[in-house]
């Protein structure tokens, strides 16, 4: 019987004779997570619980309950969530502008994580695991996993991400790849800078529209550095509209939007595409 949400696997010849522990390690599960699976009887072989040093054989059915019993340390807060996609492993939402992603000392209960954990606990899940993070001032698609196996899969298989950005000035090139290393300035500043001592950072953009004052860009992230898009665009002389760190705070918001995430689902290797439409306020700044 296939249990909803559980992960089933039939042992192959290559896995024959492995201990349960070695098999799960072979599947790239962390030692800490293995201990939690073992201590909570989350793994069965042919419907029975075994010691983790017991061997498995060809044709055995390994059944893993991937969900942790630990309650998240994020306070659940009931919110109206804009859910774009959800299944037993992932949940993707449309994050509003000016909403923090995770609790901090200054934002303990009014983050999107608070709302997500309330939703998950109301539907039988107990913890959440972040896939991508968005700055408070960036809107759009944000993705969480419901258990560590789903999270680990997308850590090893980085999702494809696209952003929309409205920038100052008229960009002449219709397409470009900005390949400039980025590093953090010394504490306490949160700013990043272009420097040869920084980490490799690559941002690709395509021009979607422009007028005599602004340009609208479709952006593909090839690396994931903090403030990467903002730093790169500011460096080439076209800071994002409303960027108080790398440009001028001359607009009601930062005009950066997480437009799309595409990932391969670990259960069936099928592609999942999640899209958040361009905010209407972007249109009001472009004449065309």
- Per the structure block, which two tokens stand in for 225? 């550095």
Question: What is the Cα–Cα distance from 109 to 105, expressed in whole angstroms?
Answer: 10
Question: What is the Cα–Cα distance from 266 to 268, expressed in whole angstroms?
Answer: 6
Tell me how long the chain is. 288
Segment (H or E) for 93 = strand 90-95
Q: Are 93 and 80 in contact (CB under 8 A)?
A: no
Question: What is the Cα–Cα distance from 223 to 204, expressed in whole angstroms?
Answer: 10
Catalytic residue among 82, 135, 176, 212: 135
User: Using CA atoms in the order 167, 169, 172, 175, what is the torsion angle rounded to 10 degrees?
Assistant: 0
Question: What is the Cα–Cα distance from 201 to 179, expressed in whole angstroms?
Answer: 6
* Helices and strands (DSSP H and E) totals, the chain: 6, 15
Q: Are 241 and 247 in contact (CB under 8 A)?
A: yes
**Torsion sign (Cα): 228, 231, 235, 237:** positive
H-type helices in the chain, by residue range? 20-26, 31-39, 112-122, 148-156, 228-235, 280-283
Q: 135 an active-site residue?
A: yes
Instruction: Residue 148: name the closest of 52, 7, 11 by CA.
Output: 7
- Residues annotated as catalytic are 135
């Amino acid at each position: 019987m296939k249990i909803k949400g559980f992960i089933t696997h039939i042992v192959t010849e290559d896995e024959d004779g492995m201990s349960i522990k070695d098999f799960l390690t072979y599947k790239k599960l962390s030692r800490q997570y293995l201990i939690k699976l073992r201590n909570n009887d989350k793994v069965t072989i042919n419907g029975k619980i075994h010691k983790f040093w017991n061997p498995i054989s060809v044709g055995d059915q390994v059944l893993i309950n991937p969900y942790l019993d630990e309650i998240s340390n994020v306070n659940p807060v009931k919110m109206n969530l804009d859910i774009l996609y959800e299944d037993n492993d992932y949940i993707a939402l449309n994050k509003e502008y000016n909403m923090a992603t995770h609790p901090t000392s200054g934002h303990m209960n009014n983050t999107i994580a608070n709302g997500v954990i309330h939703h998950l606990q109301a539907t039988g899940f107990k913890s959440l695991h972040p896939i991508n993070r968005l700055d408070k001032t960036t809107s759009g698609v944000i993705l969480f996993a419901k258990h560590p196996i789903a999270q680990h899969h997308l850590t090893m298989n980085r999702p494809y991400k696209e952003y929309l950005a409205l920038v100052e000035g008229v960009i002449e090139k219709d397409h470009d790849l900005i390949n400039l290393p980025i590093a953090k300035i010394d504490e306490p500043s949160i700013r990043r800078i272009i420097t040869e001592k920084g980490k490799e950072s690559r941002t690709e953009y395509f021009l979607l529209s422009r007028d005599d004052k602004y340009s609208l860009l479709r952006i593909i992230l090839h690396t994931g550095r903090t403030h990467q898009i903002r730093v790169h665009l500011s460096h080439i002389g076209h800071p994002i509209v409303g960027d108080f760190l790398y440009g001028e705070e001359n607009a009601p918001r930062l005009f950066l939007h997480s437009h799309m995430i595409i990932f391969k689902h670990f259960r069936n290797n099928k592609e999942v595409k999640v899209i958040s439409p361009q905010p209407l306020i972007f249109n009001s700044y472009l004449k065309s």
